Amino acid sequence: MATPLAHTLAGYVVYRFAGSRDRTLLVAAVVLAVCPDFDFIPGLLIDQPVRFHHGISHSLGAGVAVATAVWLALPALRRVGARAWWVLFAAFATHLGIDFWGPDQRPPYGIPILWPMDDTYRMAPFPLILGVRHANEITADTMTWVGQILHPYNLAAVALELLWLSPFVWAAKRRTRGGTVGDSD
Ligand SMILES: [Zn+2]
């Protein structure tokens, strides 16, 4: 998995490439780009944060469901139209793409990216990012998990992610300077 910073920037890039200035869409795109990792939350509730990580929340099927639910729930996004749905789905999909190209230290390796069509866990043949160092044992408790997240290794992971994503952020900001697609504010 990548850091939340990488996923946040990816959501922002999708939003900027869409050419919108709708603030609701910006916030929703960033949240959807990060939200597959909300699968830590049920694990945190039982003091085993990793237990449910990299499940079906990391799939295109979940992306369709979440993008549709958020689009239907927020009138501001419905006013933008179908384009907003695609921005939400694309933002979610960036999470899958980034995690797909990241390392994974515990089986089943990768993510079930094609669920529900296919349950197979898939990952790239080699990682392009360092990935976050965190406890991989499924029974690791929250303190162990947090302790490993605070490892200095993760600063290097953030630096490499910034290196990868900076050109995309720069290109997105240049491309949409003055863009107005779907604006509602
Ligand atoms: Zn993830």
The predicted model scores a pTM of 0.90
Mean pLDDT, rounded, for 9-19: 95
Mean pLDDT, rounded, for 23-40: 97
22 part of a folded domain: yes
**181 CA to centre of ligand 1 in angstroms:** 29
Query: What's the structural domain count of the chain?
Result: 1
Mean pLDDT estimate for the chain: 91
Is residue 12 a contact partner of residue 30, using CB atoms and an 8 Å limit?
Answer: yes
What is the structure's pLDDT at 176? 66
User: Which of 113, 97, 102, 85 lies closest to 29, judged by CA?
Assistant: 85
Is residue 4 a contact partner of residue 161, using CB atoms and an 8 Å limit?
Answer: no
Q: Is pLDDT above 90 for 185? A: no
167 part of a folded domain: yes
Mean pLDDT, rounded, for 4-25: 94
Distances (CA, A) of 160 to 32, 90, 129, 131: 22, 23, 7, 9
**42 CA to centre of ligand 1 in angstroms:** 15
Is residue 83 a contact partner of residue 96, using CB atoms and an 8 Å limit?
Answer: no
58 part of a folded domain: yes
**136 CA to centre of ligand 1 in angstroms:** 14
What torsion, rounded to 10 degrees, do the Cα atoms 172, 175, 178, 181 define?
A: -80
**127 CA to centre of ligand 1 in angstroms:** 14
Domain hosting 57: range is 4-175
96 part of a folded domain: yes
What is the structure's pLDDT at 182? 47
Higher pLDDT, 179 or 12: 12
71 part of a folded domain: yes
Q: Which two tokens stand for residue 149?
A: 């997240």
**Angle, helices 23-34/60-73, rounded to nearest 10 degrees:** 150
What is the structure's pLDDT at 178? 53
Q: What pLDDT digit, counting tens, does each position of 74-101 carry?
A: 999 999 999 999 999 999 999 999 999 9
**159 CA to centre of ligand 1 in angstroms:** 18
183 part of a folded domain: no
182 part of a folded domain: no
Longest CA pairwise span in the chain (Å): 50
What is the structure's pLDDT at 181? 47
13 part of a folded domain: yes
